[in-house]
Amino acid sequence: MTILDGKKTSEALKQEIAEEVKQLKAAGKKVPHLAAVLVGDNGASITYVNSKVKACEQVGFASTLVKLPADITEEALLEEIDKLNANADIDGYIVQLPLPKHIDEQKILLAVDPKKDVDGFHPANFGRIALDMEAFIPATPFGIMELLKRYEVPTKGKHVVVVGRSHIVGRPISILLSQKGAQGNATVTLTHSHTPNLADFTRQADIIVMALGIPEFLKGDMVKEGVTVIDVGITRLQDDNAPKGYRIVGDVAFDEVKNKANYITPVPGGVGPMTIAMLLKNTLLACKWRERVVSKLLTINC
């Protein structure tokens, strides 16, 4: 059994990105610049955004944190989005979710320029993914694909069962794994909370992606020998015996399932750490794509 170590892999990836930034600097080019919009004072959002800004510093990116009050109007937030879209120095940005209830999240995400949408949440990027076009892939499915690639987990001809149909994990990963290409060519079944007899599907699977949000849902008797298990779940469970009074668990009963698995991601330390690294990767891609467009324009103008 091999543990798909997201912590180690994300560190390696960040080092590679830092190396590319050094080369960009040495060539006199601009470094990638990520902005994050944080509305209000949701504790979890502040923690996430701070980790993203810190990760930018680690790899040598420029970063901008746009902090806005919880009572900002939708109109004023849309003006901030327009400014970020127009700012030529910013390669990509994210609007940290959730937003306060009085703001229409969908309206805000639609206002983000798809070319700067490094979260990959804009429908234009989802459509591009579905059509095999160059696109920003949301961080979680992008991180899963990167782990499968780096550990050379075979996917060609395999039966993948994805559990959960969310817009940012289940749906895109089911598309990516069924696409042509090295980490694709799988036969994918997308299941969800209304799939009857779910275990009948998971027991047939060569690869299972759990993104349901129910702690320790996938038990040992629900998988076959030799399975690959990717656990996207992350839930805090109260545990009076744990030093912090809680423990973090995924959607997989890890101790039972690991004995039957060929490859498995742990929680914590699996898919989670990959997400920030993939956001950095998307920002680097945004920077490169913008430079490509600018240099084309310059060539046309000359």
Closest CA to 15 of 49, 59, 47: 59
State how far the Cα of 144 lies from the Cα of 64, in Å rounded to an integer.
27
State yes or no: residue 31 binds ligand GUN (CB under 6 A): no
H helices of the chain, in order, are: 6-26, 43-59, 74-86, 105-111, 123-130, 139-150, 170-178, 198-202, 254-257, 271-301
184 alpha carbon, distance to own chain's centre: 17
- Among residues 5, 14, 91, 96, the one annotated as catalytic is 96
Q: Which is nearer to ligand GUN, 167 or 292 (CB)?
A: 167
Give least dist CB 140 to ligand GUN, A.
7
H-state helical runs in 151-191? 170-178
Piece in contact with ligand GUN (CB under 6 A), picked from 11-19, 23-31, 64-72, 94-102? 94-102
Q: Which is nearer to ligand GUN, 95 or 267 (CB)?
A: 95
Query: Among candidates 151, 143, 117, 121, which has minimal Cα distance to 232?
Result: 143
Q: How far apart are the first and last CA of the chain?
A: 58
Asked whether position 94 contacts ligand GUN by CB under 6 A, the answer is yes
Catalytic annotation present for 96: yes
Query: Nearer Cβ to ligand GUN, position 24 or 112?
Result: 112
Position 97 contacts ligand GUN (CB under 6 A): yes
> Residue 62 Cβ, how far from ligand GUN at the closest point, in Å?
19
Cβ 186 vs Cβ 160: under 8 Å = yes
Q: Which residues contact 200 (CB under 8 A, 6 or more apart)?
A: none
Residues 80, 119, 146, 216: which binds ligand GUN (CB under 6 A)? 119
Contact call for residue 81 and ligand GUN (CB under 6 A)? no
| Known catalytic membership, residue 83 | no
Residue 113 falls in the annotated catalytic set: no
Q: Which of residues 121-140 bind ligand GUN (CB under 6 A)?
A: 139
Q: Is residue 283 part of the contact set for ligand GUN (CB under 6 A)?
A: no
Q: Of the two residues 14 and 184, which places its CB atom closer to ligand GUN in the complex?
A: 14
Q: Using an 8 Å Cβ cutoff, are 97 and 105 in contact?
A: yes
Measure the CA–CA gap between 62 and 47, rounded to whole angstroms. 19
96 contacts ligand GUN (rule: CB under 6 A): yes
Task: Give, as ranges, the residues between 42 and 71 that touch ligand GUN (CB under 6 A).
Answer: 48
The active-site residue, picked from 119, 206, 231, 251, is 119
Q: Give the residue among 263, 137, 269, 152 at the shortest CA–CA distance from 209.
A: 263
The residues that are catalytic are 52, 96, 119
Q: Which residues bind ligand GUN (CB under 6 A)?
A: 48, 94-97, 119, 139
